[in-house]
Amino acid sequence: MLTLPAPIDAIAESHRLIAALEQRQSELPFVDAILETHRTMHRELETTHIHSEQAVNHWRGALARRWECEVAGRRLYKQVLRQLIEHYGGSDAPQITLLSRGGAEAESSPAELLEDLRRLRAALDLPSELLPFAAQRLPQTERVCRDLERAIVEADSSEHRRRAAVLDSRMVREVYRRVRGETYRALVAHYGEQVPQEFYYFVQ
């Protein structure tokens, strides 16, 4: 299986090939059609590379925002769980055992953390006379849940766009590789064994 060039390398290579073809334009009767194909391919290489870079940068930003929300969520979860343990008299109280996953929260995925926080929010939904700190903690928990849920959706969506953009870039580079090979074979058919040296770089 042939390894495709990196996007930047493919763009630079395409530019060199177009320049080499333009220099031989007067002696190649079929060069106009080939140049039109390669110029189109060059634009596609540049466009898909830009889209891929943008998608990757957006994905990285979304992951960073999700991580910030996770950190805030874990911190709040620990603080409120500690308050609940103190209020109910220990970590073995029924209210706590229904709420906690026995320490598994420390290794939870973003989606699991969101579910942990939702259970926490439900546990806080009590009158202030029954749970003195609920009035303060409930709005905080609702906000953290909302922010984390939005960050998870954004990260998942940006991951999908990143994969699609990277795949598009790869497909265009594969098409370019085939077009490059067809061009070299056309040059061999025209020049025979005397293919100009500037085209040797593009041999398949």
Q: What is the pTM of this model?
A: 0.83
Distances (CA, A) of 39 to 11, 15, 166: 11, 9, 21
Q: What is the pLDDT of residue 1?
A: 44
pLDDT-derived band at 195 (thresholds 50, 70, 90) equals: confident
Distance (Å, rounded) from C-alpha 52 to C-alpha 39?
Answer: 20
Question: Cα–Cα–Cα angle for 37, 183, 164, nearest 5°?
Answer: 55
Q: What is the pLDDT of residue 6?
A: 87
pLDDT 10s digits, 168-188: 999 999 999 999 999 999 999
Distance (Å, rounded) from C-alpha 127 to C-alpha 122?
Answer: 12
Count, in order, helices (H) and strands (E) of the chain.
Answer: 5, 0
pLDDT-derived band at 145 (thresholds 50, 70, 90) equals: very high
